[in-house]
Structure 1
């Protein structure tokens, strides 16, 4: 992969079941097992799915009018079954968006359904990746099992 396409985060353990996720721009978010206010990995997945489409839709519709309300709810069921193991089903992204009265608001309202469809069909990297079922490789770094003691 070229540097133009590569995306990455680093996850560092802070204590049992608690981690900090960092991006290359210096941002961070806490992640954990759901025993405190930290986001769980599933919640971060849901946020990524909704956030990706939200960014697409916001950029498209806000060119026409600034929304008076813009919220996104992402839901799904975490299940375990014999064939698929632990996974999410029934993923739904619900947008509640309102624009001001007037010609600009009308243009934004007209653009909303199309922008939602464009994001779903081709723009949102996250939901496209989930829907297409991209394989995930798990690898152990060379020397990661060695002793650190003297």
Structure 2
């Protein structure tokens, strides 16, 4: 991994079941177990999938016409395998888009389906990583 290609976040415990996620640019998100308003890890996974494709679609379609409505809904089912392991299945990303009447809106409407497909098939790092099943390694540093 080169520093040019590497992406990272740091997650720090603030109390039992409560964490802060920080990126290298200073952004902070609250993470929790689902007992309060904070996002759970699964919700952040869904947000990452939808947000990644959403950005692709927004950047391209907005060059053609400003959307009147741009909403992305992402859902899936959390299941437990026969061996007791948790995972998500039936992941869906729904784009609810509305563009204004006229030539600009027509150009955006025409581009949207192509860009949604392109994002899924090639551009969105998050959904492509999930679909390819990239291995995750875990390890401990510090006190053992």
TM-score (norm 2): 0.97
Mapping of 1:1-150 within 5 angstroms? 1-83=1-83, 85-141=85-141, 143-145=142-144
Shift of 1:70: 0.1
Which structure 1 residue ranges, 4+ long, deviate > 3 Å from structure 2? none
Shift of 1:2: 1.1
Partners in 2 of 1:17 and 1:137 — Cα distance? 22
Partners in 1 of 2:128 and 2:84 — Cα distance? 20
Partners in 2 of 1:84 and 1:13 — Cα distance? 27
Q: How many residues align?
A: 144
- The structure number with the bigger radius of gyration is 1
Partner of 1:82: helix, strand, or coil? coil
Partner of 2:93: helix, strand, or coil? strand
1:148 aligned residue: none
Task: Give CA-to-partner distance per residue, 1:43-77, whole Å, 9 cap, x none.
Answer: 00000000000000001101100100000000000
Partners in 2 of 1:73 and 1:106 — Cα distance? 23
Shift of 1:82: 1.5
The alignment yields a C-alpha RMSD, in angstroms, of 0.9
Shift of 1:144: 2.8
Partners in 1 of 2:60 and 2:107 — Cα distance? 11
TM-score (norm 1): 0.94
List alignment gaps of at least 5 residues for structure 1. 146-150
